């Protein structure tokens, strides 16, 4: 269970109305029951229910069950697509391990409906479900142009370039050092965007194989290929 409170031996954790309903009404956890907690910073902790009220309660941390395991220093830049597909991208990115989700708008971005709070909640849910002890940073949507204008010079930007799809199989994924993967919208990148990306010194085009993948498939494929090459 995710809580945005410090965790440590003997630390009391307050339970608010929403989590009280889930823990004590839905799950029917009595006083003394064990709950695993994480906050994205202090690893995973075994806690016991010490107060199980209707609208609130309290837990007490006993022992750490997992140390904090940080994800690889990898960002995912992607263009929000339809609601449930964006949800899919967020969920899979957490499962596969990214440090930061960077939603970007491009010329052909069809959906700019990016709800940072909602997608952060999806990221937390995904972390809970896959046993991650971290929660990636979930950024506000911003134009790709602005993101690349302010890019850290030491971070490679691995651009999933659909132009490579027809020509080659899956290429080698350059790993080593901070990196980010960039996946375009359903409509791909415009000619101007492609020219701009080609001119940037930190950009490395990568191929995801001979067929054109949907944006959400491309995000998953790129993350898996990166993971296979980097080993984490």
Q: Which is nearer to ligand SAM, 29 or 206 (CB)?
A: 206
Q: Which residues bind ligand SAM (CB under 6 A)?
A: 160-162, 164-165, 183-184, 186-189, 207-209, 212-215, 218
Q: Which is nearer to ligand SAM, 116 or 190 (CB)?
A: 190
Tokens encoding 66: 């997992």
Distance in Å, CB of 106 to ligand SAM, minimum: 9
Radius of gyration of the chain (CA): 20
Q: What angle do CA 188, 192, 198 make, to 5 degrees?
A: 85
Question: Contact, 122 vs 136, CB < 8 A?
Answer: no
Distance in Å, CB of 34 to ligand SAM, minimum: 43
CA distance 122 to 102: 15
- Site of tokens 């939603």: 103
Q: Which is nearer to ligand SAM, 40 or 185 (CB)?
A: 185
Residues 6+ apart with CB under 8 A from 90: 101, 119, 122, 123, 126, 138
Distance in Å, CB of 160 to ligand SAM, minimum: 3
Distance in Å, CB of 17 to ligand SAM, minimum: 41
Q: Which is nearer to ligand SAM, 123 or 222 (CB)?
A: 222
């Amino acid at each position: 269970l995710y809580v945005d409170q410090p965790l440590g031996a003997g630390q009391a954790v307050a339970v608010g109305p929403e989590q009280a309903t889930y823990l004590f009404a839905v799950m029917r956890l009595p006083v003394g029951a064990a709950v695993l907690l994480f906050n994205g910073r202090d690893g995973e902790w075994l806690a016991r229910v010490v107060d199980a009220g209707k609208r609130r309660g309290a837990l007490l941390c006993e022992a750490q069950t997992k140390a904090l395991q940080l994800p690889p220093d990898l960002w995912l830049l992607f263009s929000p697509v339809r609601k449930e597909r964006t949800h899919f991208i967020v969920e899979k990115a957490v499962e596969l391990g990214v440090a930061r989700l960077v939603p970007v708008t491009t010329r052909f971005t069809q959906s700019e409906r990016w709800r940072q709070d909602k997608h952060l909640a999806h990221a937390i849910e995904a972390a809970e479900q896959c046993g991650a002890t971290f929660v990636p940073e979930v950024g506000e949507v911003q134009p790709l142009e602005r993101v690349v204008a302010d890019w850290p010079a030491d971070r490679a930007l691995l651009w999933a370039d659909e132009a490579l799809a027809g020509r080659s199989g899956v290429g080698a994924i350059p790993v080593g050092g901070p990196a980010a993967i960039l996946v375009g919208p359903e409509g791909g990148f415009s000619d101007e965007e492609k020219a701009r990306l080609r001119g940037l010194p930190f950009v490395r085009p990568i191929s995801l194989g001979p067929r054109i993948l949907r944006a959400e498939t491309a995000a998953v494929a790129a993350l898996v290929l990166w993971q296979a090459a980097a080993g984490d």
